[in-house]
Chain A
Amino acid sequence: MFEFVMPPAVIMIVGALLVALARPMLRPLIALLTPLVTLYAIWQIPDGIQLSAMFLGYEVQVVEGSALRRLFATVFAIMAFGGVLFAFRQSKWWELSAAMIYAAGAIGVSFAGDLIVMFLFWELMALFSTVVVWCGGTEGAKRAGIRYAIIHLLGGIILKIGIEGLIVHTGSPEIRALALNNFDTWMIFIGVLINAAAPPISAWLADAYPESSPMGGVFLSAFTTKTAILSLILLFPGQPLLIWIGLWMIFYGIIFALLENDMRRILSYSIVNQVGFMVVAIGIGTELALNGAAAHAFTHIIYKALLFMSAGAVLYQTGIRKCSELGGLFRTMPLTTICGIIGALSISAFPLTSGFISKSMISSAAGGEQLMLVWYLLVAASAGVFLHAGIKFPWFVFFQKDSGLRPPEAPWNMRAAMVLFAVGCIALGVFPGLLYGLLPFAVEYVPYTADHVVTQLQLLLFAGLAFFVLLPLMKRTDTVSLDFDWIYRVGLPGVLRAIEKLLVRGRRALIAAAVPAGKQLKTWFTETPYMLFSSRSPMGQTAIWMAVLLAFVIVLAII
């Protein structure tokens, strides 16, 4: 077994570099071929450790195959292909290259056999996803990119401390299921969860993704959170804490998506929401639940990318991001509309779409474990998903009022990518065996029982009804505020107003106190050491410091 295995991630990186170096004519060809070659390579990797190397004095496992890892790598490669197809005529070459290396990082994490290799690819992803955000090219993208980079830098550092601690204390960098019983594993846990956009650090996602270019958003939607999901499955399966974290993410995503007006920000919050479902499933931790998490990650990547593509196509054609300014686009962008609706139905887990076959596994897993509260919350959340993503997004963007916009249909490559992924959503929904065959554990689960289908349809029907009944409340004004005004309109005005007032007052008081104090602190920190240690007449002071240090050492040494 010493055949040389080419790590799929390396193929992707080489492809990305070739894109950067090739002539403009050849770039699309290389960019499109690379994910396909990578996909082929992914399927050549058998189970078990395939490639190891010496790094940092440890034998690290660069490539380790298993059904779960191949599943994630497969969808990442498919995603890279779809993304490139969507973007190659519109994106600058550096955006394509960065996005491909970003995808390579995700594939690398998928096959990483130990924590060191995982961390390397993890950081690669952080670095190049930041570049993808920056490719948005606006001032807003620049700032969002910096914030994004800071969060991921911190997350990376936390993860790194955890990994190093674990290695020092246990002597093994192996990826294995960990128990949350010491500082090291907690750090790894937190580090991974930051990438999964778990609370309280969920905001980076909806902050950064909508600032990317119309093409960049498609790539961003897929990789970072889903590699975190894979890592959680491998490292912390069945950790009960994850159930509650996941539920929090689900409802956080729904509420903020309902409040939001920017179409890609709605979709971003809905990523947090959907990742929440997967996190819950990992927390449940049974074979069915883990299968569900993996399957849902797979289908989610496809339909979320489809949604981001349709939003991206609209943005690319109109330049408008706010729902309140869009509407009535179905007249001139029929294909984008249909694809957007298919994506929306999939995310809502409509029968015969991909979301149905994966999400029902998760709720069944919760039901099977007698976690009734969790089950009820998941069902309620499914209705919420339909509200915010299933109806709200297509309704406000493509129908609603006639905004007077008559953009032409998206360019052919964008349409091709959308059709490809829309077909994917339907195919997986109609033939669930396609996906179930790839799952890590054997599947006995049957999604299309009369009971499932009827329940789900009823749920969707009522949620749909609720949406149109409450339509006046759903309409977003031109604001981007996320504050209390929405809940205020629904009810509880007195209490909330009081709380809001209190918060505002508290915030003002805090600002009034903190800003001058902070300024003074900052001046002190930046000026004092500068004056003390870096003045331009250094000789005398250096001599004094030498005397002081010498006296110090000698006194301590002799006493």
Chain B
Amino acid sequence: MTLIEWMPFSVLIPLIAAPVCALLPGRVLPWTLTFVSVLASAVICALVLPMAVGEGPLSYAFGNWPPPVGIEYRVDAVNALLALLISAIATIILPWARVSVNDEVPDRQGPFYALFLLAMSGLMGITLTGDVFNVFVFLEISSLSTYALIAHGKNRAALLASFRYLIMGTLGATFYLIGVGFLYIQTGTLNMVDLAERLPALADDRAIRTAFGFIIVGMGLKLALFPLHRWLPGAYSNAPSMVTVFLAATATKVAVYVLLRLVFSVFGVEFALAMPFEEIFFTLGAVGIFFASLSAIKQTSLKRMLAYSSVSQIGYIALAISLISTAGLSAGLVHIFNHALMKGALFMCVGAIVYRIGSDRFADLGGLAKQMPLTMLAFVLAGLSMIGVPLTAGFISKWALISAAIEAGNGYAVGIVLIGSLMAVIYIWRVVEIAYLQPAPDNADMSRRREVGLSMLIPLWILIAANFYFGIDTRLTLDIATRGAEVLMGMTP
């Protein structure tokens, strides 16, 4: 088998492992199966990436039905990077998650891990497929399993948050499906490459333009674009810690990818420029950065604060995309990658804190740096990356974004990015001040305040190290992102 034939297995292995995993008893077996299949998927992605970047798009036709009739998997620089990100993050999370899951989901871990595998394979499928309806199918697979995962949260509020996400997420998916329906009616095809060939002739068609509207609004909800972000804080703050880490690092990014792929590769740059795409994404991105940061500053618990911070980071990505230039898209793609690293690390810290002291409210965190020095130091370092301090991944993102904005002559974008960074300083600083400078609260249970074990610390610090590594060596991120942006802008095949 060649590498191209192996490529679909990065989706199929977790998908096939999921039902098996659901049947496994106990705690060790489901976890082991999950880890092995996720790791296999990551290895395949890592092998595919250089080939996809070097040789251009790799195509695999399912069941030997040649596209556009059959379903095609199509991998280029953009989605190869994203697929690697998803599978690598999942691989890092799992060792970290064991104790946390034992604590939060003590029983029936088989089905829990099965749902995780489904969610992960759904995201991978969305990323790799070259068929717009297939995107919807995988979107539903990942969404439905995500709803169920969120409902596993310890609080009863998790059920409500899951229900709300279910309703809102379904709205988003439906919008997307309606858009795809319009496209199919007008063009008679669902294959992305095929669509891209047929759409330019129909650029003035109203149904196509309406389809564009439905798709970007639907995906806008899935990627938590302000003001369609309201499902996110509840979902992130009530889900089990492991699920939060995974979702925060990957789920919204995949929605951004779908949007990028459809808008730029399928509809095409010309079409996007003719549409009010630029204005909407710029406005919503800018307003989103500001208001979501403001909300983050106002929060009184860690998970909600970071959730709002995620919404504001999505704003940066939207802003970058709205520049419709190679530099802008590459800044957006870099930030997708880097944000996964920093948010993943931050939520891992929170997960570790919740695992030890059972709460993420600011009132309970006073003086925690004394008892959990390594976790809190990791939080500070990831926070620095979030702010965009030099030699962190966040710095690269902000640098690329500001450069792209200056190149586009968009002074407002520069200003907003800077205001957003200052606001990030405020909300990260609040946590640092509480954990380092305030005394422990009187009712704190000091016996529970201990550093977490190595199984949590090692994955956490791997992510922290990655934050710094990708702040110095930008070959994997910036170079591939630039290549991906060129692909999306249609400059290279």
Contact = CB atoms under 8 A, between A and B. Distances in A.
Interface in A518-547: 525-526, 529-530, 533-534, 536, 538-539, 541-543, 545-546
Contact of B402 (A54, A164, A556): A164
Contact of A553 (B212, B391, B406): B212
Interface string A323-348: 00000000000000000000000000
Interface residues of B, number: 55
B335 to A, nearest CB: 14
A131 B421 CA distance: 20
Contact of B390 (A54, A119, A161): A119
B107 interface: no
Interface in B27-52: none
Contact of A153 (B212, B396, B422, B437): B422
A55 interface: yes
A168 interface: yes
A127 B391 CA distance: 12
Contact of A164 (B175, B275, B403, B472): B403
A539 B164 contact: yes
B217 A57 contact: no
Contact of A124 (B276, B291, B390): B390
Interface in B423-475: 425, 437, 472, 474-475
Interface string B173-205: 001000000000000000000000000000000
B214 interface: yes
A167 B298 contact: no
B416 to A, nearest CB: 12
A533 B225 CA distance: 12
A533 B403 contact: no
Contacts of B226: 533
Contact of A526 (B212, B298, B422, B478): B298
A539 B275 contact: no
A123 B389 contact: yes
Given A157-B418, A161-B414, A164-B406, A534 B233 contact: yes
Nearest to A160: B402
A553 B275 contact: yes
B406 A168 contact: yes
A510 interface: no
A271 B117 CA distance: 62
Interface string B299-335: 0000000001000000000000000000000000000
Interface in A486-510: none
B266 to A, nearest CB: 16
Contacts of A168: 403, 406-407
Given A542-B168, A543-B171, A549 B478 contact: no
A432 to B, nearest CB: 39
B298 A165 contact: no
Interface string A84-104: 000000000000000000000
A550 B214 contact: yes
A545 B228 contact: yes
A56 interface: yes
Contacts of B390: 119-120, 123-124
A497 B400 CA distance: 54
A530 B298 CA distance: 9
A392 interface: no
B69 interface: no
B213 A554 contact: yes
A554 B280 CA distance: 12
A549 B228 contact: yes
Nearest to B271: A557
Interface string B208-224: 01101110110011000
Contacts of B73: none
Contacts of B210: 554, 557-558
B154 interface: no
Nearest to B213: A553
B356 interface: no
A530 B297 CA distance: 11
Given A56-B396, A533-B226, A538-B168, A552 B276 contact: yes
A54 B475 CA distance: 9
Contacts of A553: 212-213, 216-217, 275-276, 280
Contacts of A119: 390
A546 B295 contact: no
A56 B474 contact: yes
A556 B212 CA distance: 12
Interface string A116-130: 000110011001000
Interface in B396-415: 396, 399-400, 402-403, 406-407, 414
B479 interface: yes
Contact of A550 (B217, B298, B403): B217
A161 B206 contact: no
A338 B231 CA distance: 70
A142 interface: yes
Contacts of A167: 403
B105 interface: no
B227 interface: yes
B294 interface: yes
Nearest to B288: A533
A124 B403 CA distance: 21
Interface string A134-145: 000000001000
| Among B217, B389, B407: residue with most chain A CB under 10 A | B217
A165 B206 CA distance: 41
A549 B168 contact: no
B95 to A, nearest CB: 26
| Among B168, B406, B425, B437: residue with most chain A CB under 10 A | B406
Contacts of B231: 538, 542
B209 A554 contact: yes
Contacts of A542: 168, 171, 221, 227-228, 230-231
Contacts of A164: 399, 402-403, 406
B437 A142 contact: yes
A54 B477 CA distance: 13
B167 interface: yes
A186 to B, nearest CB: 14
| Among A142, A157, A533: residue with most chain B CB under 10 A | A533
Interface in B374-410: 389-391, 396, 399-400, 402-403, 406-407
A558 B209 CA distance: 7
Contacts of A554: 209-210, 213
Contacts of B233: 534
B291 A550 contact: no
Given A161-B402, A542-B221, A550-B217, A529 B295 contact: yes
A365 B396 CA distance: 43
A51 to B, nearest CB: 14
A55 B469 CA distance: 12
A534 B389 contact: no
Contacts of B234: 536, 538
Contact of A546 (B217, B276, B291, B478): B217
Given A161-B402, A164-B399, A546 B391 contact: no
A546 B215 CA distance: 11
Contact of B227 (A54, A533, A536): A533
A557 B276 contact: yes
Contacts of B291: 529, 533
A543 B212 CA distance: 18
Given A539-B167, A550-B217, A557-B212, A545 B206 contact: no
Contact of A541 (B230, B403, B437, B472): B230
A549 B167 contact: no
Interface of A: 54-57, 119-120, 123-124, 127, 142, 153, 157, 160-161, 164-165, 167-169, 525-526, 529-530, 533-534, 536, 538-539, 541-543, 545-546, 549-550, 552-554, 556-558
Per CB-CB distance, the 3 closest pairs between chain A and chain B, nearest first, are: A538-B230, A553-B213, A556-B276
10 contacts: A153-B425, A160-B399, A160-B402, A161-B406, A164-B402, A538-B230, A546-B221, A553-B217, A556-B275, A557-B209
